[in-house]
Amino acid sequence: MGLQLGDTAPDFTAETTAGSIEFHSWKSGSWAVLFSHPADFTPVCTTELGRVAQLRQEWAARGAKPIALSVDSVADHNRWVPDIDEVNDTTVEYPIIADPDKQVAGLYGMIHPNEGDTSSVRSVFIIDPSDKVRLTLTYPKSVGRNFDEILRCLDALQLTDRAAVSTPVDWRKGDRVIVPPTVSTDDAKAKYGEVDEVKPYLRYVSAPQD
- Annotated catalytic residues are 45
| Contacts of residue 177, Cβ cutoff 8 Å, sequence gap at least 6 | 159, 163, 165, 166, 167, 168, 171, 204, 205, 206, 207, 208
CA distances from 146 to 10, 107, 124, 127 (A): 25, 24, 11, 18
72 CB-contact burial (10 Å; exposed 0-12 / middle 13-18 / buried 19+)? buried
> Using alpha carbons only, how large is the chain's radius of gyration in Å?
19
